[in-house]
Amino acid sequence: SCLQNINEEITIHDLRIIKGKKELKILFDCVLPFEDTRSIYDLTNFLEKEITYKNYVIKYIIEIDRPYT
């Protein structure tokens, strides 16, 4: 995923995409390492700059998980 460009240990799961007439909602859970202090806001801003799709407005709904140890 493009999130691995900012930290190769980031993984995503439970990806869902909901397509409307002019909007895409992209929902997923993101596993961040404990030492990574990025917020949902940081991840969303990064994705908004990296990903476009035609003339759609893309909204991200991200749940941050931490790895089990």
Q: What is the mean pLDDT of each run of 10 residues along the chain (69 residues)?
A: 85 94 93 90 88 88 86
Opening angle at CA 38, ends 36 and 40, nearest 5? 135
The pLDDT assigned to 23 comes to 95
The pLDDT assigned to 13 comes to 93
Order of all β-strands in the sheet with 23-31: 11-19, 23-31, 57-65
Q: Are 60 and 23 in contact (CB under 8 A)?
A: no
Q: Which two tokens stand for residue 33?
A: 């390492």
- Cα distances from 4 to residues 19, 33, 36, 54, 56, in angstroms, run 25, 12, 12, 23, 24
